[in-house]
Structure 1
Amino acid sequence: MTIYENILTDRGSKYAVSGGPCDSAQAAKAFVKALCRKKKFAKATHNTWGLILPDGTPLKNDDGEAGAGMVILRMLEREGRQGEIVVVTRWFGGTHLGGDRFRRVQDAVRYYFDAG
């Protein structure tokens, strides 16, 4: 599991991105559960994620951040990445970001791709 914390801040909201190998829906749930063992991540407002299984099946979870999982999935598809989960974590800062929240999710996923 690779975790990059405090990579972005926008109007008080803070972001982190995590990822690693993942080959099933059960492994995805286990990955997020392991991430949330860190108290900081368990208290996050959203832990959204996307994954394309090795057989090409897309999986996602918005965790209350409607549409964010699909943004992650599209980026994984463009990069041709399968068998790798990417989790974007947001701590809400008190100001709604509107459509900018999707840009921040893209920025976080791009950060993960570039750093790895």
Structure 2
Amino acid sequence: MQIFNGIISDRGSKYAVSGGPCTSPEEAKAFIKELCRNKKFAKATHNSWAFLQDGQAVKNDDGEAGAGLVIVRMLERAKLENHIVVVTRWYGGKHLGGDRFRHVQDAVRYYLDHAVVK
């Protein structure tokens, strides 16, 4: 599990991105469970995630409508399969509007640029 914390901050909201190998929905649930063992991530407002399995998208917005699809599109462009990417957001009290999609995209880009992916 690779975690990049505090990569984006906007109007009080803070973002982190994490990821690791994942080949099934069960592994995705186990990954999120492990991530949330860290109390900071368990208290996050959203842990949106996605991965590609045999070309099929598996995603969960976790209340951040549309975030899973943004992650899926980024993984498709990168041709990264069997690897989950989780974008975590701690809500800061002010609505971000469409900027939240840009932040999800920027977080996934950060992960793809900095993570060691095998």
Q: Same fold (TM over 0.5)?
A: yes
Equivalent-residue separation in structure 1 for 2:90 and 2:75 (angstroms): 23
Q: Which residue of 1 aligns with 2:94?
A: 95
Amino acid at match of 1:15: Y
Q: Which residue of 1 aligns with 2:46?
A: 46
Equivalent-residue separation in structure 1 for 2:103 and 2:14 (angstroms): 10
Q: Which residue of 2 aligns with 1:6?
A: 6
How far off is 1:98 after superposition? 0.5
Amino acid at match of 1:26: E
How far off is 1:57 after superposition? 1.7
Q: Deviations over 1:51-89 (max 9, x none)?
A: 001x22210000000000000000000000000000000
Structure 1 stretches lacking a partner, 5+ long? none
Equivalent-residue separation in structure 2 for 1:10 and 1:109 (angstroms): 16
Give 3-state SS (helix, strand or coil) of 2:97's partner: coil
Structure 2 stretches lacking a partner, 5+ long? none
Paired residues in the alignment total 115
Equivalent-residue separation in structure 2 for 1:7 and 1:100 (angstroms): 15
Percent sequence identity is: 70
Q: Are residue 36 (structure 1) and residue 36 (structure 2) matched? A: yes
Q: Which residue of 2 aligns with 1:115?
A: 114
Task: Give the TM-score taking structure 1 as reference length.
Answer: 0.98
Equivalent-residue separation in structure 1 for 2:85 and 2:72 (angstroms): 9
Equivalent-residue separation in structure 2 for 1:105 and 1:69 (angstroms): 9
4+ residue segments displaced more than 6 Å: none
Q: Which residue of 1 aligns with 2:21?
A: 21
Task: Give the TM-score taking structure 2 as reference length.
Answer: 0.96
Equivalent-residue separation in structure 1 for 2:92 and 2:86 (angstroms): 19
